[in-house]
Structure 1
């Protein structure tokens, strides 16, 4: 009697590899789906206890009792005015990031935000956030803004007051004030800790061997040394 051949022939060698393959696929799915954890309650205002305790590792603190939480816990007022003197002398840029460390009400909510201010011709140098997508709203001035995707394509435009641009997670992006006066941007992130990797400081200020930088960028020894001095403190 004719029998249908099996679709897969048993292979003892492959059967030994299946548990390892299953583990690898499980880890891959876990990494692909990782993000800030979903909250399991409406909010969690950390309760650090008595005394002037600096909140640097919020998950170690219990939540305040909801009965002791007030409206003031959900308000942050330290971004209402632009800085007066703390602009970088080299870039004409000043930025203030707000995470749960600065604003405890953000704890467990999976978001953070920032304010960026620019003097005329000021720049926010190329950088990226490894753990968050950013939306940037121009609240004052005119700003040249953009990002470069993983294929090397640039998406850039001059934004006016009221316009918003989105920077996908992990994409190198930048901003420059191209107006005559000051400019300000308000940015939001879909992570409590988006991270910040500044390209100039990371490349030339982190201690990468000089010989590698010379070959990678076609620079002389003196040029690399100059860039190290320039970006070593960034």
Structure 2
């Protein structure tokens, strides 16, 4: 191969890889507050909308006050408040989002992963058993105390459990404004995968599969009451 061709090939591969592995596109301006004249950001799920004139931006556009108290708790003892451009327009196009997670004593954040983002979790208060599993099924986990943080690489399954005697609060930050979320139990038993396949994969009986489905299948809407 000609030396010059080798150089250009390396340059091309480096440029292509930087595009391929970037979480979100780099912004081309200081910030982009969505322009309400072009519709609400809630009408188009986390897509980038035209920006309003930067001279119309105010300090309030860059402040979010909706994380002062926990959200609503689930059956697993977990309450989350996910903050993305739908709730906080000031972070639109900045390639980030975050979440507040509260765990009751013994509460868990079930195994899940984010297909489009790496996460860093910071323990604000409490003692939390935290970890992730890599692609060789090796687990990296230990108890995190207040003031400690852990990183979960993009796309790897991770989990949390409050092992302390008091409620715990964790703050998570993502390097994407739309990290995505897929909970493992719901994805397996609540998505409609063929029963026979699940029986063979997990060694469960039809009765056990049915029990798991009832637990994780989405609740049917009742309509207006």
TM-score, with normalisation over the residues of structure 1? 0.82
* Equivalent pair of 2:48/2:92 in contact (CA under 8 Å): no
Greater Rg over alpha carbons, structure: 1
**Could you tell me which residue of structure 1 aligns to residue 191 of structure 2?**
206
Give CA deviations for 1:97-139 in whole Å, capped at 9, x if unaligned: 1111111111110000001001110000000000000000000
SS at match of 2:81: strand
The reply on whether 1:94 has 2:79 as its aligned counterpart is: yes
The reply on whether 1:40 has 2:7 as its aligned counterpart is: no
**Could you tell me which residue of structure 1 aligns to residue 136 of structure 2?**
151
Q: How does 1:104-119 map to 2 (within 5 A)?
A: 104-119=89-104
**Could you tell me which residue of structure 2 aligns to residue 15 of structure 1?**
none
The reply on whether 1:196 has 2:184 as its aligned counterpart is: no
* Equivalent pair of 1:56/1:101 in contact (CA under 8 Å): no
> Following the alignment from structure 2 to structure 1, what is the Cα–Cα distance between the partners of residues 123 and 27?
30
The reply on whether 1:73 has 2:78 as its aligned counterpart is: no
Kindly report the root-mean-square deviation, in angstroms, between the aligned alpha carbons of the 2 structures. 2.4
Residues 163-172 or 28-37, more deviating: 28-37
**Could you tell me which residue of structure 1 aligns to residue 105 of structure 2?**
120
The structure 1 residue matched to 2:51, chosen from 42, 50, 63, is 63
Shift in Å at residue 30 of structure 1?
7.8
Shift in Å at residue 34 of structure 1?
4.3
**Could you tell me which residue of structure 1 aligns to residue 118 of structure 2?**
133
> Following the alignment from structure 2 to structure 1, what is the Cα–Cα distance between the partners of residues 25 and 175?
11
**Unaligned segments of structure 2, at least 5 residues:** 2-12, 220-225
> Following the alignment from structure 1 to structure 2, what is the Cα–Cα distance between the partners of residues 166 and 74?
25
The structure 2 residue matched to 1:186, chosen from 171, 174, 179, is 171
> Following the alignment from structure 2 to structure 1, what is the Cα–Cα distance between the partners of residues 56 and 110?
43
**Unaligned segments of structure 1, at least 5 residues:** 1-6, 8-24
